[in-house]
């Protein structure tokens, strides 16, 4: 299988689980994953539905003029297109000191940029300008996070909340999406949390009928993504990259 070097324009240089950033990346696509998840999907799957009025306005525009007109789609279309935010407790456990720790998954909350920088430091990723990190999050189609919330006995309302995981996806909102920047705090790795992050993003994309999902993976975690249904392009790596010459 051929390998390609990646000069990433993403928030971080590689998709990984907090492993040291390598120079080799694999372009992977879940060709089988769509079929696997679709088997378990609801029969009442809802795709995009353009209202009749939208098509009527296009038809009317062409009949009135011989020149092509740009017709704005209804505002409700864009609203329906956005993934619905989710938040729920993924794991809950009681620690020896009596404290209760919850791992909370969220796809709609705000991320403190300094907490994210701290998490990147923990996994050994190089620092990036905070303004670019914030812009990358803002322009993502979906951002999923994991927070550890510790509730200490007798300290009601004084919970300790820590960002321990994140993953995000960009998309053209129609056909394609790419997953970037999957990271999990090293002290929480090996518990299936990275798997949960990726699977939730994939399900959200499939619910919006976005079936061509790709990612770039460090060589150390190729097997991890294989187990999630991804596979290296069977026809060979077709990705091409432009590198700055300065």
The per-residue pLDDT for range 28-63, each reduced to its tens digit, is 776 444 444 444 444 333 333 333 443 344 334 434
User: Residue 178 pLDDT > 60, yes or no?
Assistant: yes
Q: Is 48 exposed, middle or buried (0-12, 13-18, 19+ CB in 10 A)?
A: exposed
How many domains does the chain divide into? 1
Residue 119 within a domain: yes
Residue 154 within a domain: yes
Residues 6+ apart with CB under 8 A from 200: 86, 105, 107, 144
Query: Is 225 tagged catalytic?
Result: yes
Residue 48 within a domain: no
Residue 72 within a domain: no
Query: Contact at 8 Å (CB) between 205 and 171?
Result: yes
Of 145, 209, 152, 149, which is closest to residue 177 (Cα–Cα)?
209
Name the catalytic one among 31, 141, 225, 243: 225
pTM assigned to the model? 0.68
User: Residue 97 pLDDT > 60, yes or no?
Assistant: yes
Residue 243 within a domain: no
User: Residue 89 pLDDT > 60, yes or no?
Assistant: yes
Residue 57 within a domain: no
User: Residue 173 pLDDT > 50, yes or no?
Assistant: yes
Q: Which residue has the higher pLDDT, 75 or 176?
A: 176
Q: Mean per-residue pLDDT for 134-141?
A: 95
The token pair at 226 is 């294989």
When pLDDT is cut at 50, 70 and 90, the band that residue 6 belongs to is very low
- Look up the CATH number of the domain holding residue 149: 3.40.630.30
Q: Which residue has the higher pLDDT, 241 or 204?
A: 204
Residue 99 within a domain: yes
User: Can you give the pLDDT at residue 26?
Assistant: 62
When pLDDT is cut at 50, 70 and 90, the band that residue 4 belongs to is very low
Residue 21 within a domain: no
Domain that holds residue 121: 87-231
């Amino acid at each position: 299988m051929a390998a390609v070097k990646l000069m990433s324009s993403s928030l971080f240089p590689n998709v990984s689980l907090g492993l040291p950033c390598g120079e080799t990346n694999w372009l992977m696509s879940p060709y089988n994953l769509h079929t696997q998840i679709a088997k378990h999907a609801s029969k009442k799957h809802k795709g995009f539905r353009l209202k009749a009025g939208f098509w009527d306005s296009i038809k009317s525009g062409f009949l009135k003029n011989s020149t092509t007109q740009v017709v704005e789609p209804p505002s409700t279309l864009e609203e329906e297109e956005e993934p619905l935010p989710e938040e729920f407790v993924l794991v809950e456990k009681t620690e020896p000191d009596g404290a209760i720790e919850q791992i909370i998954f969220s796809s709609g909350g705000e991320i403190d940029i300094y907490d994210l920088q701290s998490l990147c430091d923990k996994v050994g990723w190089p620092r990036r300008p905070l303004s670019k990190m914030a812009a990358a999050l803002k322009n993502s189609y979906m951002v999923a996070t994991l927070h550890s919330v510790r509730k200490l006995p007798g300290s009601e309302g004084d919970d300790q909340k820590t960002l321990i995981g994140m993953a995000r996806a960009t998309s053209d909102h129609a056909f394609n999406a790419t997953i970037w920047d999957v990271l999990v705090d090293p002290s929480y790795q090996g518990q299936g949390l990275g798997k949960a992050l990726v699977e939730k993003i994939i399900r959200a994309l499939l619910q919006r009928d976005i079936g061509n999902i790709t990612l770039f993976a460090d060589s150390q975690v190729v097997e991890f993504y294989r187990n999630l249904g991804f596979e290296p392009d069977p026809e060979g790596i077709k990705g091409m990259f432009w590198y700055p010459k300065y």
